[in-house]
Structure 1
Amino acid sequence: MPPALKALLSQVAGLAIAFALARAGLVAGLWPLVGVQALGATVAATALNSARWWLPIHLCFLPLVVGAHGLDLHPGVYLGAFVLLVLVYWTSFRTQVPLYLSNRDTARAVAELLPARPARLLDIGAGTGSLLRPLARARPDCHFTGVELAPATWLVGRLLAAGMANLDCQRGDLFARPWHDYDLVYAFLSPVPMAEVWQKAARELRPGSVLLSNSFPVPGREADFVVEVGDRRATRLYGYRIGQRAHA
Protein backbone atom coordinates (compact mmCIF):
# COMPACT_ATOMS: atom_id res chain seq x y z
CA MET A 1 0.00 0.00 0.00
CA PRO A 2 1.42 3.44 -0.88
CA PRO A 3 2.55 5.42 2.20
CA ALA A 4 0.23 8.33 1.38
CA LEU A 5 -2.78 5.97 1.32
CA LYS A 6 -1.71 4.45 4.64
CA ALA A 7 -1.51 7.95 6.11
CA LEU A 8 -4.98 8.86 4.84
CA LEU A 9 -6.53 5.64 6.15
CA SER A 10 -4.86 6.13 9.53
CA GLN A 11 -6.25 9.64 9.90
CA VAL A 12 -9.72 8.49 8.84
CA ALA A 13 -9.54 5.62 11.33
CA GLY A 14 -8.63 8.06 14.10
CA LEU A 15 -11.57 10.29 13.19
CA ALA A 16 -13.92 7.28 13.16
CA ILE A 17 -12.77 6.21 16.63
CA ALA A 18 -13.21 9.73 18.02
CA PHE A 19 -16.67 10.04 16.42
CA ALA A 20 -17.79 6.67 17.79
CA LEU A 21 -16.65 7.48 21.32
CA ALA A 22 -18.29 10.90 21.15
CA ARG A 23 -21.61 9.38 19.98
CA ALA A 24 -21.43 6.88 22.84
CA GLY A 25 -20.90 9.72 25.32
CA LEU A 26 -17.54 8.32 26.44
CA VAL A 27 -15.49 11.34 25.36
CA ALA A 28 -16.54 14.98 25.35
CA GLY A 29 -14.82 18.27 24.71
CA LEU A 30 -12.62 19.44 21.84
CA TRP A 31 -9.17 18.54 23.13
CA PRO A 32 -10.09 15.10 24.52
CA LEU A 33 -11.57 14.26 21.11
CA VAL A 34 -8.48 15.61 19.36
CA GLY A 35 -6.30 13.45 21.63
CA VAL A 36 -8.39 10.35 20.93
CA GLN A 37 -8.17 10.97 17.18
CA ALA A 38 -4.40 11.42 17.34
CA LEU A 39 -3.89 8.24 19.35
CA GLY A 40 -6.29 6.32 17.12
CA ALA A 41 -4.51 7.46 13.98
CA THR A 42 -1.13 6.49 15.47
CA VAL A 43 -2.38 3.02 16.44
CA ALA A 44 -3.90 2.55 12.99
CA ALA A 45 -0.62 3.59 11.33
CA THR A 46 1.22 1.06 13.48
CA ALA A 47 -1.26 -1.66 12.48
CA LEU A 48 -0.70 -0.78 8.81
CA ASN A 49 3.08 -1.18 9.25
CA SER A 50 3.80 2.46 8.44
CA ALA A 51 7.42 3.58 8.71
CA ARG A 52 8.40 4.64 12.24
CA TRP A 53 8.77 8.30 11.29
CA TRP A 54 5.07 8.45 10.34
CA LEU A 55 3.99 7.77 13.94
CA PRO A 56 4.93 11.15 15.48
CA ILE A 57 3.37 12.83 12.44
CA HIS A 58 0.03 11.13 13.11
CA LEU A 59 0.29 11.84 16.81
CA CYS A 60 0.87 15.57 16.27
CA PHE A 61 -1.08 16.28 13.07
CA LEU A 62 -4.60 17.10 14.32
CA PRO A 63 -3.45 18.74 17.60
CA LEU A 64 -1.24 21.08 15.57
CA VAL A 65 -4.03 21.81 13.09
CA VAL A 66 -6.52 22.66 15.84
CA GLY A 67 -3.94 24.65 17.79
CA ALA A 68 -2.90 26.63 14.71
CA HIS A 69 -6.54 27.37 13.89
CA GLY A 70 -6.94 29.05 17.26
CA LEU A 71 -4.00 31.37 16.57
CA ASP A 72 -5.88 33.10 13.74
CA LEU A 73 -2.76 33.28 11.57
CA HIS A 74 -2.67 34.84 8.12
CA PRO A 75 -3.19 32.26 5.33
CA GLY A 76 0.21 33.19 3.93
CA VAL A 77 1.86 31.68 7.03
CA TYR A 78 0.36 28.28 6.21
CA LEU A 79 1.36 28.59 2.57
CA GLY A 80 4.91 29.51 3.57
CA ALA A 81 5.14 26.57 5.99
CA PHE A 82 3.84 24.21 3.32
CA VAL A 83 6.33 25.44 0.73
CA LEU A 84 9.18 25.11 3.24
CA LEU A 85 8.20 21.54 4.09
CA VAL A 86 8.00 20.66 0.40
CA LEU A 87 11.45 22.13 -0.25
CA VAL A 88 12.95 20.20 2.68
CA TYR A 89 11.23 16.83 2.29
CA TRP A 90 10.53 16.99 -1.45
CA THR A 91 9.68 13.42 -2.56
CA SER A 92 9.95 11.69 0.83
CA PHE A 93 6.34 10.55 0.58
CA ARG A 94 7.28 8.57 -2.56
CA THR A 95 10.81 7.43 -1.76
CA GLN A 96 10.07 6.82 1.96
CA VAL A 97 13.46 8.34 2.77
CA PRO A 98 13.11 11.03 5.47
CA LEU A 99 15.77 13.58 6.34
CA TYR A 100 18.42 12.00 8.57
CA LEU A 101 21.50 13.99 9.59
CA SER A 102 24.75 12.20 10.41
CA ASN A 103 26.48 13.40 13.58
CA ARG A 104 30.16 14.14 14.24
CA ASP A 105 30.73 10.80 15.98
CA THR A 106 29.65 9.08 12.79
CA ALA A 107 31.90 11.34 10.71
CA ARG A 108 34.88 10.33 12.88
CA ALA A 109 34.01 6.65 12.46
CA VAL A 110 33.75 7.04 8.68
CA ALA A 111 37.07 8.91 8.58
CA GLU A 112 38.77 5.90 10.17
CA LEU A 113 37.44 3.70 7.35
CA LEU A 114 38.94 5.82 4.58
CA PRO A 115 42.13 4.42 3.05
CA ALA A 116 45.44 6.11 3.90
CA ARG A 117 45.86 7.09 0.25
CA PRO A 118 43.78 9.86 -1.40
CA ALA A 119 40.27 8.51 -1.91
CA ARG A 120 36.87 9.53 -3.21
CA LEU A 121 33.69 9.28 -1.12
CA LEU A 122 30.10 9.71 -2.28
CA ASP A 123 27.31 10.48 0.19
CA ILE A 124 23.96 9.54 -1.38
CA GLY A 125 21.19 11.56 0.24
CA ALA A 126 23.68 13.98 1.77
CA GLY A 127 21.13 16.32 3.37
CA THR A 128 22.89 19.44 4.59
CA GLY A 129 26.34 17.85 4.32
CA SER A 130 26.69 17.20 8.06
CA LEU A 131 28.87 14.15 7.38
CA LEU A 132 30.89 15.58 4.52
CA ARG A 133 32.14 18.84 6.01
CA PRO A 134 34.01 17.24 8.96
CA LEU A 135 35.44 14.64 6.59
CA ALA A 136 36.58 17.27 4.09
CA ARG A 137 38.36 19.18 6.86
CA ALA A 138 39.94 16.04 8.33
CA ARG A 139 41.13 14.65 4.99
CA PRO A 140 42.10 17.46 2.60
CA ASP A 141 43.83 14.87 0.40
CA CYS A 142 40.50 13.16 -0.36
CA HIS A 143 37.57 14.32 -2.49
CA PHE A 144 34.01 14.21 -1.18
CA THR A 145 30.77 14.42 -3.16
CA GLY A 146 27.27 14.74 -1.78
CA VAL A 147 24.09 14.15 -3.75
CA GLU A 148 20.80 15.52 -2.40
CA LEU A 149 17.44 15.81 -4.16
CA ALA A 150 15.53 18.16 -1.82
CA PRO A 151 16.18 21.76 -2.91
CA ALA A 152 16.28 23.41 0.53
CA THR A 153 18.63 20.94 2.19
CA TRP A 154 20.86 20.86 -0.89
CA LEU A 155 21.10 24.67 -0.88
CA VAL A 156 21.96 24.77 2.83
CA GLY A 157 24.66 22.16 2.27
CA ARG A 158 26.02 24.03 -0.73
CA LEU A 159 26.26 27.29 1.20
CA LEU A 160 27.88 25.68 4.24
CA ALA A 161 30.45 24.00 2.00
CA ALA A 162 31.46 27.21 0.25
CA GLY A 163 35.22 27.54 0.02
CA MET A 164 35.91 23.84 0.61
CA ALA A 165 37.79 22.81 -2.52
CA ASN A 166 37.57 19.07 -1.87
CA LEU A 167 33.80 19.02 -1.27
CA ASP A 168 31.21 19.07 -4.06
CA CYS A 169 27.49 19.30 -3.20
CA GLN A 170 25.31 18.28 -6.13
CA ARG A 171 21.55 18.25 -6.50
CA GLY A 172 20.09 15.16 -8.14
CA ASP A 173 18.69 11.65 -7.84
CA LEU A 174 21.08 9.28 -6.08
CA PHE A 175 20.30 6.52 -8.59
CA ALA A 176 20.75 8.72 -11.66
CA ARG A 177 24.49 9.42 -11.36
CA PRO A 178 27.21 6.78 -11.90
CA TRP A 179 29.15 5.45 -8.90
CA HIS A 180 32.14 4.01 -10.79
CA ASP A 181 34.73 6.49 -9.55
CA TYR A 182 34.23 6.17 -5.80
CA ASP A 183 36.13 4.18 -3.20
CA LEU A 184 33.36 4.45 -0.61
CA VAL A 185 29.64 5.15 -0.97
CA TYR A 186 27.87 6.23 2.23
CA ALA A 187 24.10 5.93 2.71
CA PHE A 188 21.85 7.08 5.55
CA LEU A 189 18.46 6.51 3.96
CA SER A 190 15.79 4.06 5.21
CA PRO A 191 15.16 0.32 4.88
CA VAL A 192 13.02 0.85 1.77
CA PRO A 193 15.66 1.60 -0.94
CA MET A 194 18.52 -0.52 0.44
CA ALA A 195 18.00 -3.49 -1.89
CA GLU A 196 18.14 -1.17 -4.89
CA VAL A 197 21.15 0.65 -3.43
CA TRP A 198 22.99 -2.66 -3.12
CA GLN A 199 22.14 -3.66 -6.69
CA LYS A 200 23.55 -0.40 -8.02
CA ALA A 201 26.65 -0.67 -5.83
CA ALA A 202 27.31 -4.25 -6.93
CA ARG A 203 26.79 -3.30 -10.56
CA GLU A 204 28.86 -0.10 -10.66
CA LEU A 205 31.46 0.06 -7.89
CA ARG A 206 34.96 -1.27 -8.52
CA PRO A 207 36.15 -4.36 -6.63
CA GLY A 208 37.64 -3.25 -3.34
CA SER A 209 35.21 -0.35 -2.94
CA VAL A 210 32.87 -0.22 0.06
CA LEU A 211 29.18 0.47 0.47
CA LEU A 212 28.62 1.83 4.00
CA SER A 213 25.07 2.12 5.33
CA ASN A 214 24.17 3.98 8.50
CA SER A 215 21.60 2.06 10.59
CA PHE A 216 19.91 0.18 7.74
CA PRO A 217 21.50 -3.10 6.54
CA VAL A 218 21.06 -4.49 3.05
CA PRO A 219 18.19 -7.00 3.23
CA GLY A 220 19.17 -10.63 2.77
CA ARG A 221 22.93 -9.96 2.79
CA GLU A 222 25.30 -10.23 5.71
CA ALA A 223 27.56 -7.23 6.23
CA ASP A 224 31.30 -7.76 5.86
CA PHE A 225 31.85 -5.63 8.95
CA VAL A 226 29.81 -3.61 11.44
CA VAL A 227 31.10 -0.50 13.21
CA GLU A 228 29.59 0.48 16.57
CA VAL A 229 29.87 4.28 16.59
CA GLY A 230 29.25 4.59 20.33
CA ASP A 231 27.06 7.69 20.18
CA ARG A 232 23.77 8.37 21.95
CA ARG A 233 21.85 6.97 18.98
CA ALA A 234 23.73 3.65 19.28
CA THR A 235 24.53 4.08 15.59
CA ARG A 236 25.75 1.09 13.61
CA LEU A 237 27.53 1.30 10.28
CA TYR A 238 27.09 -1.73 8.02
CA GLY A 239 29.95 -2.21 5.58
CA TYR A 240 29.83 -4.21 2.35
CA ARG A 241 33.03 -4.76 0.38
CA ILE A 242 32.59 -4.99 -3.35
CA GLY A 243 34.26 -8.05 -4.87
CA GLN A 244 33.52 -11.09 -6.95
CA ARG A 245 30.63 -12.08 -4.67
CA ALA A 246 28.90 -8.75 -5.38
CA HIS A 247 28.89 -9.39 -9.12
CA ALA A 248 27.94 -13.05 -8.93
Structure 2
Amino acid sequence: MPPALKALLAQLMGTAGAFALASSGALGGLWPLVASQAGLAAASALVLRSERWWLAIHLGFLPLAVLAHGLSRALGLHPGWYLAGFVLLLLVYWTSFRTQVPLYLSNRATAAAVGRLLPAAPACVLDIGAGTGSLLRPLARMRTDCRFTGIELAPAPWLLGRLLAVRFPNIEWRRGDLFAPSWSDYDVVYAFLSPVPMAAVWAKACAEMKPGSLLVSNGFVVPGAEPERIVEVADRRGTRLHVYRMGTHGGRRR
Protein backbone atom coordinates (compact mmCIF):
# COMPACT_ATOMS: atom_id res chain seq x y z
CA MET A 1 0.00 0.00 0.00
CA PRO A 2 1.43 3.45 -0.90
CA PRO A 3 2.57 5.48 2.15
CA ALA A 4 0.16 8.34 1.41
CA LEU A 5 -2.78 5.92 1.35
CA LYS A 6 -1.61 4.39 4.61
CA ALA A 7 -1.46 7.87 6.15
CA LEU A 8 -4.98 8.70 5.01
CA LEU A 9 -6.30 5.38 6.30
CA ALA A 10 -4.58 5.88 9.66
CA GLN A 11 -6.16 9.33 10.02
CA LEU A 12 -9.60 7.96 9.16
CA MET A 13 -9.19 5.11 11.66
CA GLY A 14 -8.08 7.57 14.33
CA THR A 15 -11.07 9.82 13.62
CA ALA A 16 -13.49 6.90 13.71
CA GLY A 17 -12.04 5.66 16.99
CA ALA A 18 -12.18 9.09 18.62
CA PHE A 19 -15.77 9.58 17.43
CA ALA A 20 -16.74 6.21 18.90
CA LEU A 21 -15.18 7.12 22.25
CA ALA A 22 -16.94 10.49 22.28
CA SER A 23 -20.30 8.89 21.37
CA SER A 24 -19.95 6.43 24.23
CA GLY A 25 -19.37 9.23 26.70
CA ALA A 26 -15.80 8.16 27.45
CA LEU A 27 -14.45 11.49 26.20
CA GLY A 28 -15.50 15.05 26.80
CA GLY A 29 -14.08 18.34 25.62
CA LEU A 30 -12.12 19.36 22.55
CA TRP A 31 -8.56 18.52 23.56
CA PRO A 32 -9.24 15.03 24.93
CA LEU A 33 -10.96 14.31 21.61
CA VAL A 34 -8.03 15.75 19.63
CA ALA A 35 -5.49 13.83 21.71
CA SER A 36 -7.37 10.55 21.32
CA GLN A 37 -7.61 10.99 17.55
CA ALA A 38 -3.88 11.70 17.29
CA GLY A 39 -2.97 8.73 19.47
CA LEU A 40 -5.29 6.33 17.65
CA ALA A 41 -4.03 7.54 14.24
CA ALA A 42 -0.45 6.90 15.32
CA ALA A 43 -1.40 3.46 16.65
CA SER A 44 -3.15 2.70 13.36
CA ALA A 45 0.00 3.71 11.49
CA LEU A 46 1.93 1.19 13.57
CA VAL A 47 -0.56 -1.53 12.70
CA LEU A 48 -0.27 -0.59 9.00
CA ARG A 49 3.54 -0.82 9.30
CA SER A 50 4.17 2.76 8.26
CA GLU A 51 7.68 4.14 8.60
CA ARG A 52 8.43 5.34 12.14
CA TRP A 53 8.64 8.99 11.14
CA TRP A 54 4.96 8.89 10.18
CA LEU A 55 4.11 8.46 13.88
CA ALA A 56 5.27 12.00 14.69
CA ILE A 57 3.21 13.34 11.79
CA HIS A 58 0.06 11.58 13.00
CA LEU A 59 0.62 12.68 16.61
CA GLY A 60 1.03 16.30 15.56
CA PHE A 61 -1.35 16.66 12.60
CA LEU A 62 -4.72 17.33 14.25
CA PRO A 63 -3.36 19.15 17.35
CA LEU A 64 -1.40 21.52 15.12
CA ALA A 65 -4.40 22.00 12.81
CA VAL A 66 -6.58 22.94 15.80
CA LEU A 67 -3.91 25.28 17.15
CA ALA A 68 -3.51 26.92 13.73
CA HIS A 69 -7.28 27.44 13.52
CA GLY A 70 -7.33 29.07 16.95
CA LEU A 71 -4.35 31.25 16.09
CA SER A 72 -5.87 32.40 12.83
CA ARG A 73 -9.07 33.41 14.61
CA ALA A 74 -7.15 35.24 17.33
CA LEU A 75 -4.98 37.12 14.84
CA GLY A 76 -7.66 37.60 12.21
CA LEU A 77 -5.65 35.75 9.55
CA HIS A 78 -7.37 35.19 6.23
CA PRO A 79 -7.75 31.47 5.30
CA GLY A 80 -6.07 32.29 2.00
CA TRP A 81 -2.71 32.34 3.79
CA TYR A 82 -3.06 28.64 4.57
CA LEU A 83 -3.99 27.94 0.97
CA ALA A 84 -0.96 29.90 -0.22
CA GLY A 85 1.27 27.91 2.13
CA PHE A 86 -0.17 24.64 0.83
CA VAL A 87 0.36 25.67 -2.80
CA LEU A 88 3.95 26.70 -2.06
CA LEU A 89 4.72 23.36 -0.40
CA LEU A 90 3.06 21.56 -3.31
CA LEU A 91 5.24 23.39 -5.83
CA VAL A 92 8.38 22.54 -3.83
CA TYR A 93 7.69 18.91 -2.98
CA TRP A 94 5.32 18.04 -5.84
CA THR A 95 5.04 14.21 -6.02
CA SER A 96 7.24 13.45 -2.98
CA PHE A 97 4.25 11.75 -1.30
CA ARG A 98 4.29 9.19 -4.14
CA THR A 99 7.98 8.90 -4.99
CA GLN A 100 9.17 9.27 -1.37
CA VAL A 101 12.05 11.40 -2.63
CA PRO A 102 12.21 14.67 -0.66
CA LEU A 103 14.12 17.77 -1.69
CA TYR A 104 17.78 17.34 -0.72
CA LEU A 105 20.35 19.98 -1.64
CA SER A 106 23.99 18.98 -2.15
CA ASN A 107 26.54 21.27 -0.49
CA ARG A 108 29.81 22.65 -1.84
CA ALA A 109 31.94 20.08 -0.02
CA THR A 110 29.99 17.33 -1.75
CA ALA A 111 30.35 19.07 -5.11
CA ALA A 112 34.12 19.26 -4.60
CA ALA A 113 34.24 15.55 -3.74
CA VAL A 114 32.21 14.65 -6.83
CA GLY A 115 34.49 16.88 -8.90
CA ARG A 116 37.46 14.76 -7.84
CA LEU A 117 35.64 11.67 -9.13
CA LEU A 118 35.21 13.04 -12.64
CA PRO A 119 37.44 11.69 -15.41
CA ALA A 120 40.43 13.79 -16.43
CA ALA A 121 39.07 13.96 -19.97
CA PRO A 122 35.91 15.97 -20.81
CA ALA A 123 32.88 14.11 -19.48
CA CYS A 124 29.09 14.20 -19.49
CA VAL A 125 27.46 14.28 -16.05
CA LEU A 126 23.79 13.77 -15.17
CA ASP A 127 22.23 14.80 -11.85
CA ILE A 128 18.92 12.96 -11.38
CA GLY A 129 16.53 14.80 -9.07
CA ALA A 130 18.79 17.84 -9.34
CA GLY A 131 16.79 20.14 -7.04
CA THR A 132 17.93 23.70 -7.62
CA GLY A 133 21.23 22.70 -9.23
CA SER A 134 23.31 23.16 -6.06
CA LEU A 135 25.67 20.37 -7.18
CA LEU A 136 25.95 21.23 -10.87
CA ARG A 137 26.80 24.93 -10.60
CA PRO A 138 30.04 24.42 -8.60
CA LEU A 139 30.98 21.54 -10.89
CA ALA A 140 30.32 23.68 -13.97
CA ARG A 141 32.73 26.30 -12.61
CA MET A 142 35.40 23.70 -11.81
CA ARG A 143 35.17 21.80 -15.07
CA THR A 144 34.31 24.09 -17.95
CA ASP A 145 35.35 21.27 -20.31
CA CYS A 146 32.51 19.01 -19.12
CA ARG A 147 28.81 18.96 -19.97
CA PHE A 148 26.35 18.84 -17.09
CA THR A 149 22.65 17.95 -17.23
CA GLY A 150 20.19 18.34 -14.39
CA ILE A 151 16.69 16.90 -14.36
CA GLU A 152 14.07 17.91 -11.78
CA LEU A 153 10.32 17.34 -11.65
CA ALA A 154 9.08 19.68 -8.89
CA PRO A 155 8.14 23.07 -10.43
CA ALA A 156 9.57 25.45 -7.83
CA PRO A 157 13.08 23.92 -7.53
CA TRP A 158 13.17 23.45 -11.32
CA LEU A 159 12.32 27.11 -11.95
CA LEU A 160 14.89 28.37 -9.46
CA GLY A 161 17.51 26.04 -10.91
CA ARG A 162 16.64 27.20 -14.41
CA LEU A 163 17.17 30.84 -13.46
CA LEU A 164 20.44 30.14 -11.66
CA ALA A 165 21.82 28.01 -14.51
CA VAL A 166 21.33 30.64 -17.20
CA ARG A 167 24.91 31.95 -16.92
CA PHE A 168 26.45 28.48 -17.22
CA PRO A 169 26.73 27.48 -20.89
CA ASN A 170 27.83 23.95 -19.94
CA ILE A 171 24.67 23.19 -17.92
CA GLU A 172 21.56 21.78 -19.58
CA TRP A 173 18.52 22.10 -17.32
CA ARG A 174 15.49 19.89 -17.87
CA ARG A 175 12.14 19.35 -16.20
CA GLY A 176 10.86 15.78 -16.08
CA ASP A 177 10.94 12.40 -14.40
CA LEU A 178 14.43 11.18 -13.53
CA PHE A 179 13.77 7.79 -15.17
CA ALA A 180 12.54 9.28 -18.47
CA PRO A 181 15.81 10.10 -20.29
CA SER A 182 18.35 7.51 -21.34
CA TRP A 183 21.52 7.42 -19.22
CA SER A 184 23.59 5.80 -21.96
CA ASP A 185 25.42 8.99 -22.97
CA TYR A 186 26.68 9.91 -19.50
CA ASP A 187 30.04 9.16 -17.90
CA VAL A 188 28.77 9.97 -14.40
CA VAL A 189 25.24 9.81 -12.98
CA TYR A 190 24.73 11.42 -9.55
CA ALA A 191 21.78 10.62 -7.30
CA PHE A 192 20.78 12.21 -3.98
CA LEU A 193 17.35 10.64 -3.55
CA SER A 194 16.17 8.29 -0.77
CA PRO A 195 16.36 4.54 -0.07
CA VAL A 196 13.04 3.91 -1.85
CA PRO A 197 14.01 4.31 -5.56
CA MET A 198 17.57 2.95 -5.33
CA ALA A 199 16.69 -0.54 -6.63
CA ALA A 200 15.03 1.03 -9.69
CA VAL A 201 17.98 3.41 -10.14
CA TRP A 202 20.37 0.46 -10.11
CA ALA A 203 18.26 -1.49 -12.61
CA LYS A 204 18.25 1.46 -15.03
CA ALA A 205 21.97 2.06 -14.54
CA CYS A 206 22.79 -1.58 -15.28
CA ALA A 207 20.56 -1.56 -18.37
CA GLU A 208 21.73 1.74 -19.89
CA MET A 209 25.04 3.03 -18.53
CA LYS A 210 28.19 2.16 -20.49
CA PRO A 211 31.00 0.05 -18.99
CA GLY A 212 33.41 2.08 -16.88
CA SER A 213 30.91 4.88 -16.17
CA LEU A 214 30.12 5.86 -12.57
CA LEU A 215 26.90 5.87 -10.57
CA VAL A 216 27.45 8.07 -7.50
CA SER A 217 24.82 7.87 -4.77
CA ASN A 218 24.85 10.44 -1.98
CA GLY A 219 24.00 8.76 1.32
CA PHE A 220 21.90 5.85 0.08
CA VAL A 221 23.21 2.42 -0.86
CA VAL A 222 22.11 0.25 -3.75
CA PRO A 223 20.47 -2.82 -2.19
CA GLY A 224 22.43 -5.96 -2.95
CA ALA A 225 25.33 -4.23 -4.74
CA GLU A 226 28.86 -3.52 -3.56
CA PRO A 227 30.30 -0.05 -4.28
CA GLU A 228 33.75 0.23 -5.77
CA ARG A 229 34.53 2.67 -2.99
CA ILE A 230 32.95 4.98 -0.44
CA VAL A 231 34.07 8.60 -0.28
CA GLU A 232 33.79 10.32 3.11
CA VAL A 233 33.00 14.03 2.74
CA ALA A 234 34.25 16.30 5.52
CA ASP A 235 31.00 18.20 6.07
CA ARG A 236 28.54 18.59 8.94
CA ARG A 237 26.22 15.96 7.50
CA GLY A 238 28.92 13.32 7.45
CA THR A 239 28.09 12.75 3.79
CA ARG A 240 29.14 9.45 2.24
CA LEU A 241 29.31 8.99 -1.52
CA HIS A 242 28.77 5.41 -2.67
CA VAL A 243 30.60 5.00 -5.97
CA TYR A 244 29.58 2.18 -8.34
CA ARG A 245 31.59 1.55 -11.52
CA MET A 246 29.43 -0.05 -14.16
CA GLY A 247 30.41 -3.24 -15.94
CA THR A 248 33.56 -3.94 -13.88
CA HIS A 249 34.40 -5.44 -10.50
CA GLY A 250 32.85 -2.35 -8.85
CA GLY A 251 29.09 -2.49 -8.48
CA ARG A 252 29.16 -6.28 -8.12
CA ARG A 253 26.35 -8.09 -6.41
CA ARG A 254 26.87 -9.18 -2.81
Tell me which structure has the larger Cα radius of gyration: 2
> Counterpart of 1:239 in 2: which secondary structure?
strand
- Tell me the secondary structure at the aligned position of residue 144 of structure 2: coil
d(CA) in 2 for partners of 1:47 and 1:100?
30
The aligned amino acid for 2:10 is S
Q: 1:113 aligns with which of 111, 117, 123?
A: 117
Confirm whether residue 211 of structure 1 aligns to residue 215 of structure 2: yes
Amino acid corresponding to residue 142 of structure 1 in structure 2: C
CA 1:74–1:121 in structure 2 vs 1: closer, same or farther (change >3 Å)?
A: same
- CA shift, 1:230, in A, is 3.1
State the TM-score, normalizing by the size of structure 2. Answer: 0.84
Distance 1:144 1:69 in 2: 46
Shift of 1:126: 0.7
List gaps (5 residues or longer) in structure 1: none
Aligned partners of 1:202 and 1:247 also within 8 Å: no
**1:32 Cα offset (Å):** 5.9
Query: 1:96 touches 1:190 (CA, 8 Å); kept in 2?
Result: yes
Work out whether residues 88 and 151 of structure 1, in 8 Å CA contact, stay in contact via their aligned partners in 2: yes
1:240 aligns with 2:247: no
| Counterpart contact for 1:101–1:128, Cα < 8 Å | yes
Deviations 1:6-57 (A, max 9, x none): 11133235446666787786x8764565455445544543554434654543
Give the aligned residue type for 1:179. Answer: W
What amino acid does structure 2 have at the position aligned with 1:138? M
Structure 2 match to 1:150: 154
Instruction: State the partner residue of 1:224.
Output: 228
Q: 1:48 to 1:214 in 2, by over 3 A?
A: farther
Q: Where does residue 99 of structure 1 map in the other structure?
A: 103
2:225 match: secondary structure:
coil
1:180 paired residue among 174, 178, 184: 184
Q: Percent identity among equivalent residues?
A: 67
Distance in 2, matches of 1:124 and 1:136, equals: 16
Once residues 59 and 167 of structure 1 are traced to their aligned partners in structure 2, the CA distance between those partners, rounded to angstroms, is 43
Aligned twin of 1:58:
58
Cα separation, 2, equivalents of 1:85 and 1:233:
24
Q: In the alignment, is the contact (CA less than 8 A) between 2:215 and 2:246 conserved in 1?
A: yes
CA apart distance, 1:171: 0.2
Comparing 82-91 with 40-49, which one deviates more in the overlay? 40-49
1:76 aligned residue: 80
Report the aligned-residue RMSD: 2.7
Match of 2:129 among 108, 116, 125: 125
1: CA distance, partners of 2:230 / 2:178: 23
Residue 12 of structure 1 corresponds to 12
Q: Is the 8 A contact 2:226 2:252 kept in 1?
A: no
Q: Which residue of 2 aligns with 1:67?
A: 67
One-letter amino acid of the counterpart of residue 2, structure 2: P
**Could you tell me whether the CA contact under 8 Å between 2:227 and 2:252 is conserved in 1?**
no
Please say which of residues 83-92 and 53-62 is displaced more in the overlay.
53-62
Measure the CA separation in 2 of the matches of 1:113 and 1:247.
19
The answer to whether structure 1 residue 141 and structure 2 residue 145 are counterparts is yes
- Are residues 111 and 69 of structure 1, via their aligned partners in 2, closer, same or farther at CA, if it must alter by over 3 Å? same
Q: Deviations over 1:64-89 (max 9, x none)?
A: 31122111332322322222222112
Q: Distance in 1 between matches of 2:235 and 2:31?
A: 38
Give the alignment's TM-score, normalised by structure 1: 0.86
> Within the alignment, does 1:189 sit opposite 2:193 as a pair?
yes
Partner Cα distance (2:238, 2:29) in 1 = 42
The DSSP-based 3-state class of the residue aligned with 1:174 is coil
Instruction: Give, in angstroms, the shift of residue 198 of structure 1.
Output: 0.8
SS in 2 for 1:58: helix
Instruction: Report the CA distance between 1:190 and its aligned residue.
Output: 1.4
Counterpart of 2:242, as a letter, is Y
Q: Which runs of 5+ in 2 are unaligned?
A: none
Residue 60 of structure 1 aligns with an amino acid whose one-letter code is G
Query: Does 86-95 or 58-67 show the bigger shift?
Result: 58-67
